[in-house]
Amino acid sequence: MSQYKAPLRDLEYVRHELLNVDAFHASNPQWSEITNDLSNAILEECAKFCENVIAPLNSVGDQQGCTLKDGQVKTPDGFKEAYQQFVEGGWPALDGTEEFGGQGLPKTLVLAATEMTGTANWAWSMYPGLSNGACHTIAEHGTDEQKETYLHKLTEGSWTGTMCLTEPHCGSDLGLLRTKAEPNNDGSYSISGTKIFISSGDHDMAENIVHIVLARLPDAPKGTKGISLFIIPKFNVNADGSVGERNAVECGSLEHKMGIHGNATCVMNFDGAKGYLIGPENRGLNCMFTFMNIARIGTAIQGLAHAELSYQNSLAYAEERLAMRSLSGAKAPDKAADPIIVHPDVRRMLLTQKAFSEGGRMMIYYMALLSDLSAQAKDSEEKEGYENLLATLTPIAKAFMTETGFEAANLGLQIFGGHGYIQEWGMEQNVRDSRIAMLYEGTTGIQSLDLLGRKIIMTGGKLLQDLINPISKFCDNTDSEEMAEFIDPLKTLLAEWQTLTEKIGASAMNNADEVNAACVDYLMYSGYVLYAFMFARSAKISKAKLAEGTTEQEFYDAKVYLARFYFQRLLPRTASLAITMTSGVKNLLDDAVNPF
């Protein structure tokens, strides 16, 4: 069984030292009370819940899974009680506006709680995670009445939410969806159709479940421009806000999945279920993007979560397990063999996991800060700047963090040798759980197309420039000899990134398929460069702390060391990606040859 210890010092480092969120909070009336001490106190409480309540349920969830009986899903032992405790602690309400009972805390704080619950028990954390997306969607697109009806309950957590997009024949291509919505006389709609892969679709943890569902109105245009968004509660809601009769929506079956067994992945049957239009007719996909963007950042956190869990557990194992002597001479001569942590290749696997975890953490809170900055922006131009940056970072974070999270999970398993393949250690569960993250909320391929096609090339490279500018500025402001080992390669990469983008952009003018042929390598390249930016910032700050004198020398030494490891052992992967991404579409698609 894997163990989890919340990395509170690392969270503090990223939030307060790297991103200096305190200064930002102090300058904002809404958050001026959110001091370092207060946020640390909140996160310490959250850490206790994660370590003591839900982490021990992680393997229980995997082994028991969810069960379906008489149309009702039962979650694994302890899940319901843990959720009750979560609600009583007020945790669902960290986020959400005060009007509906939320605390409206900054995202840099809210996502730290998300990271911890997710790392402790990803499958469990998906129940409140999806609710959060439903909340935001209703808050942004719902009518006042809809907000009043649903947001109080969702914010306090007594009800949960879902996101119903996928159908058996369509996932990435939602334009093909068939679920129908027929208007009723009372302004509501009757919705019929089958949705699959609905995470947290049904369960026994909340009084009601609020489904956010994509469907087509009669005579709607074909494709993505004929999709509308609906709220469909599991139980109809009475005029007084209480839970009423059962609606015609039911979990038809549970999927048998590779992992995340503790989360109920449901086939949901809507059989003339009563629903309510949210947002304008035929603009459902646009409204759903609110949900999807939140879900994508949530899924990016999943990459970080599995990397962190993998790192913590394989580190503990590597310090205990004895095998062979160090090639440079015995390191534990009093023992039968050296602990495997002395072997450089084992350290390579540990440091890779650590770099993907810490790099991901810096990336996530950087994005969280952008979101907070956007929320507090003085004008629409400033807001747009932050939003654009966030929009470009989202597909990179989602795909890059989940790909590297899966790699990290596998390296953690690898350190355990044959034991990693056995259930009892929890490492193989971590690999299985992490594998979904590259699929749901848009595959790596879909994120890559979004990044390179829609965000970069269709804006003529403007959004890339927005991404590069702060990094360039950082490089210009960090022109010391001591930082040259980080700044020089980073500068070179920024130039190369632009050249590669121009090259692909030019070839795409002749053949649009060039975008699809380059996109995944391009996204991964972008991810490595962005992490390099994060690690360079971390090295700069840690070097400054060491220079000014600190009682935590080991801590800051380790940060500088990890940055160097990243630059020397992981960042060079860009060299191969630069070659392959510009190798052209012809080696993938050539009308003259059928290669299969």
Contact indicator for 434, 406 with CB cutoff of 8 Å = yes
User: What minimum distance in Å lies between the beta carbon of 396 and a second copy?
Assistant: 16
Nearest approach, Cβ of residue 141 and a second copy (Å): 25
Degrees, nearest 5: CA angle 447-118-234? 85
Measuring CA to CA, how many Å separate 482 from each of 371, 536, 544? 32, 12, 11
Catalytic positions? 441
Stretch that binds a second copy, among 45-53, 205-213, 390-398, 437-445 (CB under 8 A): 437-445
Q: How far is the C-alpha of 285 from the C-alpha of 37, rounded, in Å?
A: 41
Residue 374 touching a second copy (CB under 8 A): no
Stretch of 96-104, 277-285, 344-352, 459-467 contacting a second copy, by CB under 8 A: 344-352
253 binds a second copy (CB under 8 A): no
Assess 169 for contact with a second copy (CB under 8 A).
Answer: yes
Residue whose tokens read 């121009």:
502
**Amino acid making up residue 549:** G
Count of other CB atoms within 10 angstroms of residue 507: 18
Instruction: Give the list of residues 6+ apart from residue 381 with CB closer than 8 angstroms, or none.
Output: none
When asked if residue 585 is in the footprint of a second copy (CB under 8 A), the reply is: yes
By the rule CB under 8 A, 444 interacts with a second copy: yes
Residue 8 in the binding site for a second copy (CB under 8 A): no
Query: In the 3-class helix/strand/coil scheme, how is 540-590 assigned residue by residue?
Result: HHHHHHHHHCCCCHHHHHHHHHHHHHHHHHHCCHHHHHHHHHCCCHHHCCC
Q: What is the DSSP letter of 205?
A: S
SS3 (DSSP) at 460: coil
Q: Figure out which of the listed residues 55, 341, 370, 401 binds a second copy, where binding follows CB under 8 A.
A: 341
* Tokens (6 digits) for 60: 């229980």
Applying CB under 8 A, does 330 fall inside the site for a second copy?
A: no
- CB nearer to a second copy: give 346 or 370: 346
Among 80, 432, 454, 503, binds a second copy (CB under 8 A): 432
Taking CB under 8 A as the rule, which mask of x and - marks residues 555-584 in contact with a second copy? --xx--xx-xx--xxx-xxxxx--xx--xx
Ranges within 400-419 binding a second copy (CB under 8 A): 406, 410, 413-414, 417-418
324 binds a second copy (CB under 8 A): yes
User: Among 422, 484, 495, 544, which residue sits at the site for a second copy (rule: CB under 8 A)?
Assistant: 422
Quick one: 25 or 195, whose CB is closer to a second copy? 195
Pick one of 67, 85, 143, 172: the residue that binds a second copy (CB under 8 A): 172
Distance of CA 28 to the CA centre of its chain: 27
| 3-state SS assignment for residue 160 | strand
322 binds a second copy (CB under 8 A): yes
Cα 476 to Cα 413: distance, rounded to the nearest angstrom: 41
Note whether 91 binds a second copy by CB under 8 A. no
Say if residues 195 and 212 touch (Cβ distance below 8 Å): no
Q: Tell whether residue 12 is a contact of a second copy (CB under 8 A).
A: no
Q: Do residues 88 and 80 make contact, with C-beta atoms less than 8 angstroms apart?
A: no
Please provide the distance, in angstroms rounded to a whole number, between the alpha carbons at the two ends of the chain: 43
Residues within window 511-540 making contact with a second copy, judged by CB under 8 A: 511-513, 515-517, 519-520
Q: Which residue in 440, 486, 525, 535 binds a second copy (CB under 8 A)?
A: 440
491 interacts with a second copy by CB under 8 A: no
The nearer residue to a second copy, 26 or 421, going by C-beta atoms, is: 421
Cα-based distances in Å from 493 to 393, 457, 573 = 17, 19, 12
Q: What is the token pair recorded at 516?
A: 């699809």
**What gap in Å lies between CA 15 and CA 108, rounded to an integer?**
7
Instruction: Determine if 344 is a binding residue for a second copy (CB under 8 A).
Output: yes
- The Cα–Cα gap between 312 and 325 comes to 23
Q: Which stretch binds a second copy (CB under 8 A): 11-19, 184-192, 251-259, 298-306?
A: 251-259
For a second copy, the closer CB: 107 or 361:
361
Question: How near is the Cβ of 68 to a second copy at its closest, in Å?
Answer: 15
User: Site residues for a second copy, window 94-113 (CB under 8 A)?
Assistant: none
264 interacts with a second copy by CB under 8 A: no
239 or 592: CB nearest a second copy: 592
27 binds a second copy (CB under 8 A): no
- Please give the structure tokens belonging to residue 174: 């939602």
Yes or no: say if 403 and 444 are a contact pair by the CB < 8 Å rule: yes
CB closer to a second copy out of 333 and 595: 595
Kindly tell me which of 180 and 257 has the beta carbon lying closer to a second copy: 257
CA dihedral 504, 507, 508, 510 (to 10 degrees): 180
Which region among 108-116, 167-175, 392-400, 469-477 touches a second copy (by CB under 8 A)? 167-175
Closest distance of CB 394 from a second copy, Å: 19
Q: Which residues pair with 273 in a beta bridge?
A: 191
